[in-house]
Structure 1
Amino acid sequence: MASATASAIVEDAVARRRSELIELSHSIHAEPELAFDEHRSCAKTKALVAERGFAVTDAPAGLDTAFRASFGSGALVVGVCAEYDALPGIGHACGHNIIAASAVGTALALAEVADALDLTVVLLGTPAEEAGGGKVLMLDAGVFDDIAATVMLHAGPLDIARARSLALSQVAVTYTGREAHAAVAPYLGLNAADAITVAQVAIGLLRQQMEPGHMAHGIVTEGGQATNVIPRRAQMEYTMRANDAGSLRTLESRMADCFLAGAIATGCDHDVSETEPAYHELTPDTWLAETFRSEMVRMGRTPVGTDVEALLPLGSTDMGNVTQVMPGIHPIVGIDADGSSVHQPGFAAAAAGPSADTAVIEGAIMLARTVVGLAETPAERDRVLELHARRAAS
C-alpha cells in the first residue's frame, strides 16, 4: 500500500465517523467525572472500538476506569492514549473530552490499514491524569510493555507540535499538635494551623531563590474546626514542578526544609507523604513531532516555532513518564477559547464548541497520518522497533 493511499484511507475513515466522534466528545463533556471515578466516560470511550472489533481488556493494572483495546497483529505496536478525567468544580477545563474522542478516531482510522501496514493499534483508556497518574500506574504494571511508540494530543489555546511539560511531584503535609481552649489556656496547645502558616511563609520567602523553572503551589485542606479551639491537626497539599526530574529533586529538598520549619517553630509533629506518582517531563520524539508539525501545516494550522516551544512549558502530564521509556508525542491542538486558557471555566465551555469539534476531527486525522508515516518509513520503523527490542531485553 502506498503511503499516500494509506494516509487517504485513514483521513477518510475519520471523516466518515465525524458525527459519532463529536457526539462522543460532547457526551463526555456533559458528564464530567473526576480521577479514578470516570466510569461513564470510560464506557463511552471504548464503545465505538468494541463495536469495530477491537479486543478490549477491562481494568488493566487493576484500575477500574482504565481499559486496553487492540486491533491487528502487526509487528509494529503503536499505542494511542485517551484521557477522560475532569477537574473539580470546572469540569472539562482541560479538554479531556477532546483527547478521548480524537484518540478513538485515531484508533478507528488505523484499524482500516492495520493489516496492510503490519501494524497493531492499541487504544489505551488512561484515567486520572489530573490527579493520580493513571499512565504511570499502567506503565509500572506492564500495560505498555509490548508497545513500541505511543501518541496522543491535548487541546490548548495554541498549536504546538513538540510540546514540553514540567516534572511534577505532589505531597500532603500533615501537622499534629495539641488542642487547647483558645482563650482559657492557649499556652497548653500546640497550634497545627500555625505550623502551616510558618511553612507557607518560608515557602514564600524561598521563591526569591528558586531556580529558573521551579514552581510550588498549594492549598490548605484542613485548618481547624472551631475558632475557640487551638487546632490539633492541620493539613495542606503542595505541588512542586521543575524543568526535569533531576532539578525537581533539588526543589523537593528545599521545600522539605520549609515544611520542617513549621513543625520546629510550633512544636508540632509533621508528616510528608506523596499523594500520587511523580510525573516526569515530556521528551517528545523528534521525528514523530516534526511529522505531526507537517500534518498541522497541511491542515492549514500554524504551529508555533521551535524557538517558542522551548519557552512554553505546558503544566505537567503523566504522558511524560511514557515518553521517558519509548518514542512518543503529546502535541497541543489549538481551539478558540476567547482568550481563556486551560483550567479556566471559559476553556471548559469552549471544549464543546465548534473549534473543539474541529480539533477532534483534525487531531485524529493528524495523529493517524503520523502513525501511517511511521509505519511506512523503513528507517524510522526500524529505529522504533529496535528501541523496543532493547527495552524488552533490559
Structure 2
Amino acid sequence: MPDATAEFKSLAGEAIVRHRDLILGVSHALHADPETAWDEHRSVALLTGTLEDLGMSVSRGVGGLETAFTGTFGKGSRTVAVVAEYDALAGLGHACGHNIIAAAAVGAASALIPLADHLDAIVTVVGTPAEEGGGGKVHLLDAGIFDGVDLAMMVHPGPADALYARPLAVAHFDVEYTGRESHASAYPTLGVNAADAFTIAQVAIGLLRQQLPPTVRVHGIVREAGTAPNAIPGSALGSWYVRAENLEALDAAFHRVVSCFEAGAHATGCQVEIRETSPRYSEFRNDAGLAHAFAANATRLGRDMDITESRPGGMNTASTDMGNVSRRIRAIHPYLSIDCLPAVNHQAAFADASIRAAGDKAALDGALLMAETIIDALATSPTTSPETEHAHAF
C-alpha cells in the first residue's frame, strides 16, 4: 500500500508536531525529577497519566513489577510494542538519556493511536523499569508481558547516530567479604582484613585481562571497606560487571573473574559471597528489515544511520536488557545523536545535553522514526537476514 503508507507517515508527522509540547514536556519533567531503578514511581505516574490522556488503556504494576506498565490501543490482528525506559543513574540523574527514550515512546504512541485501526494493529507502550542494572525487561519477558508481540523497538540517545545496537552481554553482581575486625596497630594479628581481599582480587583481575578476549570488560567499585584507618575492616562490599560478546562467552569469563574474587578470600582468610543482582543481559540481535526501514526514514530527516557500519557509532560495548527482548521478538534499538561530544553517556554533562536543543530533537525524531518504521513494517512483510532469527510474518 505505497500510497496509503505515505499518507499514514504524513499523518504521523502531523501528530508529532501537534504533540510537540507534550513530548518535550515529558522529557524535561523526567529529567528534572530523576528516579533510580525500582523506585520510578513519579515517573510512572507521569507516563501512564499521559498515555491515558492520549486514549490508551493503561495497566500498572504489570508482570509483578510495581513500576512497570503497559499502555494499549487498537483491536488489530498484529501487536507492535514501543519500549520506554525511565530509570536514572544514582548521583548522575538522566546521564544515559532515558528521559528522551520515554518521551520518544510517548510520541510514537501519539502518532500511531489514530492509525491503529487502519493498520490492523494493537499499539502497545511497554514501560520497563530498572534498565540500569535491574533487568526489568527480562522479568517482563518471563512474566509473559511480551507474549504475542510481533515487533518491538526503542531509540536511545548517544554521542552519534548509529543504526545497529551491538551491546555486550553482561552479568551484574555484588561481592561481599567477611573477615574479622581488630585494632590495626595494637592487635593486628587478630584481624582478618576484608579490604585486603578486594585488593588481591583486583590485582588478580588486572593480571587476568591479558588472557581475556578483547571484547570482555570487567569493571566495578568497592562500596564499603572499613570506617577508620586504625581499624582492620571486618567486612567489605563491592559491585561489579562482567561483559562479553554473547551469553556463552559471558559465562566463561564470569567464572574466571569469580576465581579472582575467591583468590582474595583464600589469601586473606576471609569468607566471600558472590550474588548476581540481576538477570543476565543478552547480546542484541538486530532485525534487518526493521533496521533498513528505520535507516531510510532517518535519511529523510537528515540523519545518516550508516547501514554498512563503516564508522564507529552508538554504545557498542555497553549493555541493555533490550537484548533479551531481541532474542525472542523482531527488534531494533538505534542510537540518535544529541550532539554532545566530548560528553558521552554516563557523564553529568550528557544529562545536561539531554534537554538541550539536540536532545529535544532526538526525542521528536525518535518518536517520528519509530512511528514511520512501524507503519512500514505493518505495510510489508519482514525482510530476513542471517542476523535475524525471527520468522514472524505479518
Q: Normalising by structure 2, report the TM-score.
A: 0.94
User: Which residue among 211, 217, 221 is the counterpart of 2:219?
Assistant: 217
The alignment covers a number of residue pairs equal to 386
1:341 correspondence with 2:344:
yes
> What CA distance in whole angstroms lies between the structure 1 residues aligned with 2:86 and 2:365?
19
Aligned ranges for residues 19-34 of structure 1 at < 5 Å? 19-34=21-36
1:84 correspondence with 2:86:
yes
- Structure 1, 94-103 or 371-380: larger mean CA deviation: 371-380
Equivalent residue for 1:136? 138
> What CA distance in whole angstroms lies between the structure 2 residues aligned with 1:241 and 1:378?
35
User: Which residue among 306, 317, 322 is the counterpart of 1:319?
Assistant: 322
Equivalent residue for 1:58? 60
5+ residue gaps, structure 1: 390-394
> What CA distance in whole angstroms lies between the structure 2 residues aligned with 1:170 and 1:49?
32
Equivalent residue for 1:124? 126
TM-aligned CA distance change 1:254 to 1:310, over 3 Å = farther
- Structure 1, 296-305 or 260-269: larger mean CA deviation: 296-305
Structure 1 runs of 4+ off > 3 angstroms?
307-312, 378-381, 386-389
> What CA distance in whole angstroms lies between the structure 2 residues aligned with 1:351 and 1:379?
33
- Give the letter aligned to residue 332 of structure 1: Y
Instruction: State the identity %.
Output: 46
Q: Secondary structure at the match of 2:93?
A: coil
- Give the letter aligned to residue 72 of structure 1: G
- Give the letter aligned to residue 364 of structure 1: A
> What CA distance in whole angstroms lies between the structure 2 residues aligned with 1:182 and 1:315?
41
5+ residue gaps, structure 2: none
Equivalent residue for 1:377? 380
Q: CA RMSD in A?
A: 1.8
> What CA distance in whole angstroms lies between the structure 1 residues aligned with 2:294 and 2:305?
10
TM-aligned CA distance change 1:210 to 1:314, over 3 Å = closer
> What CA distance in whole angstroms lies between the structure 1 residues aligned with 2:288 and 2:47?
29
The one-character-per-residue Cα deviations of 1:251-280 (angstroms, maximum 9, x if unpaired) are 101101101110110111111110111111
The one-character-per-residue Cα deviations of 1:133-155 (angstroms, maximum 9, x if unpaired) are 11111111111112111010000
- Give the letter aligned to residue 167 of structure 1: A
> What CA distance in whole angstroms lies between the structure 2 residues aligned with 1:364 and 1:289?
15
The one-character-per-residue Cα deviations of 1:45-72 (angstroms, maximum 9, x if unpaired) are 1222201221111100121111111000
Q: Secondary structure at the match of 1:308?
A: coil
TM-aligned CA distance change 1:247 to 1:308, over 3 Å = farther
Equivalent residue for 2:108? 106
> What CA distance in whole angstroms lies between the structure 2 residues aligned with 1:60 and 1:312?
29
User: In the alignment, is the contact (CA less than 8 A) between 2:74 and 2:122 conserved in 1?
Assistant: yes
User: In the alignment, is the contact (CA less than 8 A) between 1:163 and 1:309 conserved in 2?
Assistant: no
Equivalent residue for 1:265? 267
> What CA distance in whole angstroms lies between the structure 1 residues aligned with 2:391 and 2:15?
30
User: Which residue among 153, 162, 165 is the counterpart of 2:164?
Assistant: 162
Cα deviation, residue 379, structure 1: 5.3
User: In the alignment, is the contact (CA less than 8 A) between 1:164 and 1:309 conserved in 2?
Assistant: no
The one-character-per-residue Cα deviations of 1:100-132 (angstroms, maximum 9, x if unpaired) are 000001111111111011000100111111121
User: In the alignment, is the contact (CA less than 8 A) between 1:36 and 1:127 conserved in 2?
Assistant: yes
Cα deviation, residue 307, structure 1: 3.4
Cα deviation, residue 303, structure 1: 2.1
User: Which residue among 75, 78, 96 is the counterpart of 2:77?
Assistant: 75
- Give the letter aligned to residue 172 of structure 2: Q
1:40 correspondence with 2:45:
no
Q: Normalising by structure 1, report the TM-score.
A: 0.94
